[in-house]
Structure 1
């Protein structure tokens, strides 16, 4: 059985809701980075034991939140010891704007994974880009590098687009399927 950890920061609850969808699809454990940028007790051990690590952060000012960045900087201890080498990695993000420079956040997460010597998993989904496409379709935002979601700045987490949450769930399923192949 593969162990998948979904480590994320959420400022307003939207990224947490997406993290829950990703973890549901992956059968993974959630590890929330708190408002001070710290992991819960046992969080580092969960990451060390995981076969796959899925990163999640809101996109603030074109990149990850400072809380996620604090976690990433603290992961240098695992980097130095090469503890995460050859693990699978993936990532997701959410922002208020349709674009919001979310790809830059995914690129940051990818770079962090590559620094750790990991193997990146993209979402493997075709975009919903026809005239018939609707906002609640899967991969409506057309991301390939990871899962992306968009939540209006005045919307509650409960109002997130169903398609974005389904994208997250299917993304988690993909990571779990690939992790099971690597585990053999």
Structure 2
């Protein structure tokens, strides 16, 4: 089997999204490549085009993905026109300071975007407490479309360890789905 490449393009206004992207990358392992959309290079664009999977990440600001990440999505128009990302695995994650914070709207935007690109969307699968009391803190926001993280403002560790662990598990899920899809 070919060496897998899973790219994580993200925008991070205050560092939270970057930290979640890094935790997801840990779950993906050596196949992961983090891409900060604010400082993209031609090598980054080439990596995205060659990737087996792309995991999109943006904070939710004012009810949708941050404007800078939306700008990145709009820069991909020729890739859509030529079908360059068709049949790649896709997933997404977002952060916000409120438990709802309209994070679902961001994940919907990312999944619709992936559908328009002809990509195969993979959502979250972890079921935590209260359904599974032995899994406290896993998937705290109960999101299935993608990974949601609620920042804990005013706390010394504003991203709980449980959310970082869920992010690593999400990365491992995307890796597994990418392996399965790549073998088909």
* TM-score of the pair, normalised by structure 1: 0.91
Extract unaligned runs of 5+ from structure 1. none
Does structure 1 retain, via aligned residues, the 8 Å contact 2:91–2:122?
A: yes
The offset of 1:132, in angstroms, is 5.6
Partner of 1:160: 159
In the comparison of the two structures, how many residue pairs are matched?
A: 179
Q: Report if aligned partners of 2:52, 2:89 keep a CA contact under 8 Å in 1.
A: yes
Task: Give the Cα–Cα distance (whole angstroms) in 2 for the partners of residues 117 and 130 of structure 1.
Answer: 34
Structure 2 equivalent of residue 125 of structure 1:
126
Which residue of 2 is the match for residue 25 of structure 1? 27
CA-CA distance at 1:41 after TM superposition: 3.8
Runs of 4+ in 1 over 6 A off after TM superposition: none
- For 2:130 and 2:95, locate their aligned partners in 1 and report how far apart those are by CA, in whole Å: 19
CA contact (8 A) 1:31 1:40 kept: no
RMSD: 1.8
**Secondary structure of the structure 2 residue equivalent to 1:82:** coil
Other-structure match for 2:137: 137
Q: Is the 8 A contact 2:99 2:141 kept in 1?
A: yes
Task: Say if 1:33 and 1:40, in contact at 8 Å, map to a contact too.
Answer: no
Native 8 Å contact 1:22 1:169 kept in 2? yes
Equivalent position of 1:95 in the other structure? 96
1:183 is matched with 182
Q: CA deviation at 1:153?
A: 3.8
Indicate whether 1:10 and 2:9 are aligned.
no
Write the mapping of 1:12-91 to structure 2, written as runs, cut at 5 A.
12-27=14-29, 28-34=32-38, 39-91=40-92
In the alignment, structure 2 segments of 5+ residues that lack a partner are none
- Deviation at residue 123 of structure 1 after TM alignment: 1.1
CA separation of 1:133 and 1:149: change in aligned 2, threshold 3 A: farther
After superposition, the Cα gap between the structure-2 partners of 1:132 and 1:179, relative to the gap in structure 1 and judged at 3 Å, is closer
Note if contact 1:121-1:146 (Cα within 8 Å) is conserved in structure 2: yes
Distance 1:69 1:56 in 2: 11
TM-score by length of 2: 0.91
User: Alpha-carbon deviation of 1:77?
Assistant: 1.3
